[in-house]
Amino acid sequence: MARSTLAITKGNWNERRRPKSRVKILKPKVGITVPFAAYNLKELHILWFGVAGMMDKSLDMSDIAAEFIAYFKNLPKISGLCRVYERNDKYCCYGEDAKLITKLTKCIILILFTDGNLLNYVSITKGHLIQALHYLLFVAQYKVEILRNTGSVRSPDWTVAGKASPGNLAAVEDFLFSDDNSYVLTQRGLMAVKFSIEGCEMVLGVAYCDALLREFQICQFVDNPQLTTFQSVIAQLSPQECLLPSVPKSKQKEAPVKSNAIIETLKSHNIAAAECGDFSDQFIVQDLNRLLQFEEGQNFQNSMKDESEMKLALSCVAAIIKYLQLLSDENNFSQFVLSVFKSELFAKVDQSCEIGLGLFPEIKSDFHVKTYLFGHLNSCFTSAGERLLIQWIKQPLMDIRKIEERLDIVEIFVKDISLQNNVSKLIDKFIDIEMLCRKIQRRKAGLQDLYKIYQMLMKLPSLKNELLTYSGSHKAVLEENFIKELQERIEDCENFTSMISQTLDFEAIENREFVIVAEYDETLLDLRKRMTKLKKSMDADLEKVRNDLGLPSVRLESFEKLGFTFRLTLKEECHLRNKKGYITIDTRSSGVRFQSPDLRSFNEQYNRLKADYEEIQKKIVDQIVDVSASYIQPLKQLGATIAWLDAALSLARVATRVTKTYIRPKLREKGECHIVLKQCRHPYLEDTLHNYIPNDVEITKEKHNFYFVTGPNMGGKSTFIRSVALNVLLAQIGSFVPCDEADISVVDGFFTRIGACDNPSKAMSTFMYEMLEIKNMLRGATSASLLIIDEMGRGTSTFDGFGLSWAISKQIALVIKAPCLFATHFHDLTSLSEAIPSVGNLHVDALCSSGNVTFLYRVKPGEYN
């Protein structure tokens, strides 16, 4: 056999031998560097080849290693793809992938060397893989392939067991979202976009799919060259990945230009773009009839006439179906819902606004930090509630009736603290029903999952009765949105709760065992009786062993792989040493595990009975899961109701947990240009600042709708203008606002130009960033929008910066006529108020004495002196 070496490139190691073993084990030892000699591959690569392969002395591991190195080096090199190989209970990456994973997980990188060829590799646990997947998919926007050996150690056959990308997580969802309440992302799902040029107009079709929640949304619209509507749509839907059709050379010359504009828009919103050649909708009707849920006698043609007219959007749906391979899994059939997404119902909130106003953290690991709006508002118990709250922030309402309905619900829990606390206690252990329904649909659910649903359903009557105790002015809203819904779900799921109560062994659940009650099946009952009899025999043998050893401390314990064993402490091992007839299994720090001949016999019989019991039980569980699948629709409806309640309670807790006042805003129709806030505060900064100074603002048509805000650095200008925008945003998502009084007209968009940044990798200077944000503002804003500008012109000369600020301010004040707050250090801009009556001046106050500056953080009328 050829000699091979294994080199360590990171970390210090020493060697230790186990007694009576030919396998050398590497153990880390800090502070000592030990040079490596050549080791035999058969001795070292247990993790790499697997224990079964190591025990086969006929295998030449050097040859197998050489074959794998040759196989791996012949694989096509694809940029942005990471391959992960399953090896027993470990996962391995090789080559450049290994280096990348090592940086993420801090695991040791190894080098496989044989016959002059070498290959980097790293072996990681499931926990490290989850950590790596989060970075690869959600940050680096890589694609991932999971490969599995479907052959043998001697003749491996590596096949792709699953493919994942930022918008296609089905293959890795068991890794990423194994917890009950873990599917919470500010960006999720897959989008597809296709455009056509019709005359002088550009028509875009858009489809969005969340494959885990099984929903499609489509829209089709005419857009301008700046893609203003498209930017609004992608900001509101926030996908992780977007499919684009490949553009053939035969297309018109404008097509690549338009495609590049779409790609740049996706990049600016941190959305991965993937080219997909097949947008053919030839079989889309047939495919949707198989995938969508319909009532009896309904189909896509007769129930979705409006949707069927959106040809471009449907071709995008077709591309998504093929990309996700939805038709390859029969569990997807009749499970999806499709709806039309109407972006015009929501105010525009683009990415620059999200960053500028601090709606969500830029680093996803800081997702629940309280120094961002979402973290400040979020105290939801379920991930469905968190997803809904994210949606509310990204999609502020413009329909006053719907906003008032949300405010009514929030007000109920703000004014009735007892009701808020009691309802919170009832739902604080609820889990994400939608994701559990997903497990049921995939036939991956177990008895524990069904028990969790059962627990929730059993709390619904108490929840409904608690809500019925409310007798205030908004009782009708509460009854329409929650009480009726809960009653319907109780009735719909009555047979489900009955089935679970008859099949589960609730006594075993107290010991964290989820099994079918033995009385449910005669065969199970017989097996259970025989197992109980054997357990009593084991207990009798325990007393016999205790007497024989003279040790009442001997314990009978059960282990997953070994079954039942006796255990002694290490100090008591001497009592066992000279006793014949006992079989020692192993010695650990926890003690010595051993068996008597009788216990070994009982244990073997018990394990055989247990295997039979589990086999029969699995068949019954599969039948129960199949029946449970018929309740998915009402369970999903229940999940939506609980998410609504959870999100509303979260907003109510924000309004009641703080010491300062949160009030219900008074709303006016869109376009009235009326924003009057008394003692306005910044929602999440006031929690971190001990002595926050509130301020008033009055933006009206009768007075001024454009204000310059001047004052010294660190004086509070930025905080003031942000607080105004955040209060308006909170009002339109249906939240109480941190003011003493609030009279707000609904706005149709939030446009911000805040902060200074650049991106050399994209050849984007600070000045270019500012100009792009201002361009989007001037072309996308209407008289009903809210504009927030925090400094402008810093990326160029003072003279040019002032000239640009002057011209842009005139354009906003005279042409757009939108409410605007402009914080600036160009004090000469304030003279614009003399020429344009709608322009006013505000300043933040400060005191200067004896060479010291004292910031007062008070906003006062007039320009800064």
Domain ranges for the chain: 62-164, 190-345, 522-623, 666-861
Provide mean pLDDT across the span 226-231: 87
pLDDT, tens digit, for every residue of 83-103? 999 988 899 999 999 999 998
pLDDT band with cut points at 50, 70 and 90 for residue 797: confident
Cα–Cα dist 106/93, whole Å? 14
For residue 75, the one-letter residue type is: L
Q: How many CA atoms lie within 13 A of 307 on its CB side?
A: 24
Q: Where are the alpha helices (DSSP H) in 122-209?
A: 126-138, 173-176
Tell me the CATH class for 522-623.
mainly alpha
pLDDT band with cut points at 50, 70 and 90 for residue 577: confident
862 phi and psi angles, rounded to 5 deg: 95, 170
Give residues with Cβ within 8 angstroms of 654, minimum separation 6. Answer: 376, 377, 379, 662, 683, 735, 736
pLDDT for 34: 31
Of 20-24, 171-175, 297-301, 520-524, minimum mean pLDDT range: 20-24
pLDDT band with cut points at 50, 70 and 90 for residue 823: very high
What's the distance, CA 5 to chain centroid?
Answer: 43
Cα–Cα dist 109/105, whole Å? 10
Cα–Cα dist 23/17, whole Å? 7
pLDDT band with cut points at 50, 70 and 90 for residue 763: low
- Residue 712 near residue 354, CB atoms below 8 Å: no
pLDDT for 255: 54
pLDDT for 762: 55
- Report residue 557 as tokens: 């314990």
The rounded mean pLDDT for the chain is 87
- Exposed, middle or buried by CB within 10 Å (0-12, 13-18, 19+), for 841? buried
- Exposed, middle or buried by CB within 10 Å (0-12, 13-18, 19+), for 71? exposed
* CA angle in degrees (0–180, nearest 5) for 768-770-776: 100
Identical topology for domains 62-164 and 190-345: no
Residue 29 has pLDDT above 50, yes or no: no
pLDDT, tens digit, for every residue of 361-386? 876 656 677 889 999 999 999 999 99
Map residue 805 onto helix, strand or coil.
Answer: helix
Q: Where are the alpha helices (DSSP H) in 238-279?
A: 254-268
- Residue 329 near residue 443, CB atoms below 8 Å: no
Q: Within a 10 A sphere around the Cβ of 421, how many other Cβ atoms?
A: 14
pLDDT for 367: 64
Provide mean pLDDT across the span 848-862: 85
Of 12-16, 87-91, 842-846, minimum mean pLDDT range: 12-16
The residue whose two tokens read 């194994």 is 178
pLDDT, tens digit, for every residue of 712-742? 888 889 999 999 999 999 999 999 999 999 9
pLDDT band with cut points at 50, 70 and 90 for residue 51: very low
Residue 430 has pLDDT above 60, yes or no: yes
Residue 208 has pLDDT above 90, yes or no: yes
CATH number for 190-345 (one of 3.30.1340.10, 3.30.200.20, 2.60.40.10, 3.30.420.110): it is 3.30.420.110
Which helix (H) or strand (E) segment holds residue 679: the answer is strand 674-680
pLDDT, tens digit, for every residue of 620-677? 999 999 999 999 999 999 999 999 999 999 999 999 986 778 999 999 999 999 999 9
Please tell me the CATH superfamily of domain 62-164, with its number. DNA repair protein MutS, domain I (3.40.1170.10)
pLDDT for 513: 82
b/e for 358-375, b at 16 or more Cβ within 10 A?
bbbbeeeeebeeeebbbb
Cα–Cα dist 148/88, whole Å? 10
Residue 536 has pLDDT above 70, yes or no: yes
pLDDT, tens digit, for every residue of 292-302? 999 888 999 88
Fold adopted by 666-861: Rossmann fold (3.40.50)
Eight-class DSSP state of 292: B
The residue whose two tokens read 């060829």 is 117
pLDDT, tens digit, for every residue of 273-290? 998 878 998 999 999 999
Name the nearest CA neighbour of 447 among 501, 374, 388, 488: 501
Of 46-60, 470-484, 485-499, 760-774, minimum mean pLDDT range: 46-60
Residue 31 has pLDDT above 70, yes or no: no
320 versus 715: the higher-pLDDT residue is 320
pLDDT for 13: 37
Residue 493 has pLDDT above 90, yes or no: yes
pLDDT band with cut points at 50, 70 and 90 for residue 155: confident
Cα–Cα dist 332/289, whole Å? 12
Residue 761 has pLDDT above 70, yes or no: no
- Residue 826 near residue 717, CB atoms below 8 Å: no
Q: Where are the alpha helices (DSSP H) in 74-196?
A: 96-105, 126-138, 173-176
Q: In 211-345, which ranges are E strands?
A: 215-223, 241-245, 272-276, 337-340
Residue 43 has pLDDT above 80, yes or no: no
Q: 433-441 and 383-394 helices cross at what angle (nearest 10)?
A: 110
Residue 79 has pLDDT above 50, yes or no: yes
Provide mean pLDDT across the span 141-163: 92
Task: Find the Cα–Cα–Cα–Cα dihedral 111, 114, 117, 121, rounded to 10°.
Answer: -20
For 20-74, give the secondary structure using H, E and C.
CCCCEEEEECCCCCCCCCCECHHHHCHHHHCHHHHHCCCCCHHHHHHHHHHHHHC
pLDDT band with cut points at 50, 70 and 90 for residue 20: very low
pLDDT for 39: 36
- Measured CA distances, 764 to 270, 761, 772 (Å): 15, 7, 10
Provide mean pLDDT across the span 349-360: 90
pLDDT band with cut points at 50, 70 and 90 for residue 201: confident
pLDDT for 61: 62
pLDDT band with cut points at 50, 70 and 90 for residue 179: confident
Of 502-511, 651-660, 845-854, minimum mean pLDDT range: 845-854
Of 293-297, 317-321, 459-463, minimum mean pLDDT range: 293-297
pLDDT for 109: 84
Residue 59 has pLDDT above 70, yes or no: no
Determine what percent of the chain is predicted with pLDDT higher than 70.
90
Of 40-44, 197-201, 770-774, minimum mean pLDDT range: 40-44
Residue 766 has pLDDT above 90, yes or no: no
- Measured CA distances, 169 to 137, 174, 434 (Å): 9, 9, 16
35 versus 521: the higher-pLDDT residue is 521
Provide mean pLDDT across the span 142-153: 92
8 versus 141: the higher-pLDDT residue is 141
- Measured CA distances, 333 to 75, 286, 437, 561, 621 (Å): 35, 12, 14, 39, 22
Q: Which of 613-617's residues contact partners 24+ apart within 8 Å by CB, and which partners?
A: 613/524, 613/527, 613/528, 613/531, 616/521, 616/523, 616/524, 616/527, 617/515, 617/516, 617/524
Q: In 735-791, which ranges are E strands?
A: 741-745, 749-754, 786-790
Provide mean pLDDT across the span 579-586: 89
Cα–Cα dist 815/808, whole Å? 10
pLDDT for 428: 92
**3-state DSSP: the chain helix, strand, coil percent, rounded to 5?**
45, 25, 30
